[in-house]
Amino acid sequence: MVVVGDTPKDIAAAKAIGAACVAVATGMHSVAELEAHAPTIACQTLADRRADAVLFEN
């Protein structure tokens, strides 16, 4: 299971259910702000190829 979100609360929700998390800085939070909450990966957009590994492996 993978949660895709753009806030620290989305990252927390993913962790709470034991899911991987792709944090995308498309909202009010920067990549750096999202990375501070330790998602599986944080990227600027879903076009970032690094997200594919998480999205399609889980």
- Please write the tens of the pLDDT for every residue from 12-41: 999 999 999 999 999 999 999 999 999 999
Do residues 43 and 25 make contact, with C-beta atoms less than 8 angstroms apart? yes
- Judge: domain 2-57, CATH 3.40.50.1000: yes
Sign of CA dihedral 10, 8, 39, 32: positive
Whole-structure pTM value: 0.91
- Quote the CA–CA distance of 17 and 10 in Å, as a whole number: 11
50 exposure class (CB count in 10 Å sphere: 0-12, 13-18, 19+): exposed
- Is residue 58 predicted with pLDDT exceeding 80? no
